[in-house]
Chain A
Amino acid sequence: MKVKFRGKEYEVEGSMRVKELLQRFDLLPEYALVVRNDEILTEDELVREDDEVMIITAISGG
């Protein structure tokens, strides 16, 4: 699958749950979410090999 994260695009192999995808990027569902076709996915949803998704994080500093 194609994963957009912080302005970069990554290729991730296989299908997996949202929480597993977040783990791959060392993120937690407490502050990060996955969007597919403008739809926010819950952490138990499956993202498939041919999906294009975007990871958005909520944490800001300052």
Chain B
Amino acid sequence: MVKCKKCGAKAIINLKAFKLSLCKDCYPNWFEERLKRTIRKHHLFKDGDRILVAVSGGKDSLSLWYALNRLGYIADGLYINLGISEGNYSSISREKCEKMSEKLGMELIVVDMKEETGLSIPETKDLRSKCSTCGMVKRYFMNRIALERGYTVIATGHNLDDECASLLSTVLRWELGYLGRQDISLPQMEGFVRKVKPFAFFSEKEVLVYALTNKIDYIYDECPYSRSATSIVYKEVLNRIENRSPGAKLRFYSEFLKKKGNFEHFREIEELKRCSLCGQPTTRDICAFCKEFRVKRGTG
């Protein structure tokens, strides 16, 4: 039996990258201490910040909301109802977010995509790919709601596997401009609320074990549209490398952050304007959101 390195009880996880085995009681403390250090080291939150956590009902975002609360941060949640009816995906995920909101005693803001745009994600047949539309819709509402409600920072549940998959995807295409942009924290700019990823150094499994040890009630099923996502292939490849070389994902990401300054000059700095239809920041006259949901559908 593998024993907990801190107290000697039966271990539930063997963190090979850290050469550390922990039990069900010591693991959440280790996780929260590491989260605290990450937030401090990367200056993710400032005094007086009003935090909005983007929640989907999945393990990452609900664990983030829960963990920030445990660390004493006052943070509300934002849920975007995408109207995915397959397997009752959206209604179940919304219910999970509402339960967490009740448990934490924090407000959950709900935005309904169908009410706002006239379309749900399954109805966006003639638009770009579902995942790409979903990403754009989420980014738009996160920023708009945060600005309207006076939040100063948006926290998302992106984890180490998400960040490494994104980095691998960028490197495979050598999109140097994107390399200059990827970070644990995206700064506040004119019309854009600051975004942070406090779980960026935690693997997907570490977050899963945190969710399970804290009995966080999350939606177990995956979004039906993400099952064939390329990011899953990248994550599997990265985990095969991790299996052979523990700590590989952490090195890949943390060394990138140390060296990302080398790519800064590849970033195309485009001038931001206000969308002529909604007023959100954009590099064009009309933002991508309005172009898809207003101009193409003739409602703009």
Contacts and interface: CB of A to CB of B under 8 A. Distances in A.
A41 B222 CA distance: 23
A60 B60 contact: yes
Contact of A61 (B11, B208, B223, B242): B223
Interface residues of A, number: 21
B204 interface: yes
A21 interface: no
B208 A62 contact: no
A35 B12 CA distance: 10
Interface in A4-62: 7, 28-33, 35, 39-45, 56, 58-62
A59 B161 contact: yes
B6 interface: no
Interface stretch (B190-198, B230-238, B263-271): B230-238
B14 A43 contact: yes
Given A33-B205, A42-B2, A60 B243 contact: no
A35 B207 CA distance: 15
B39 to A, nearest CB: 22
Interface centre among A35, A44, A56 (most CB of B within 10 A): A56
Interface in B216-248: 220-223, 225-229, 231-232, 235-236, 239-240, 242-243
A31 B204 contact: yes
Contacts of A39: 12, 24
B21 A33 contact: no
Nearest to B130: A62
Interface of A: 7, 28-33, 35, 39-45, 56, 58-62
Interface of B: 1-2, 11-14, 21, 24, 58-60, 131, 134-135, 161, 203-205, 207-209, 212-213, 220-223, 225-229, 231-232, 235-236, 239-240, 242-243
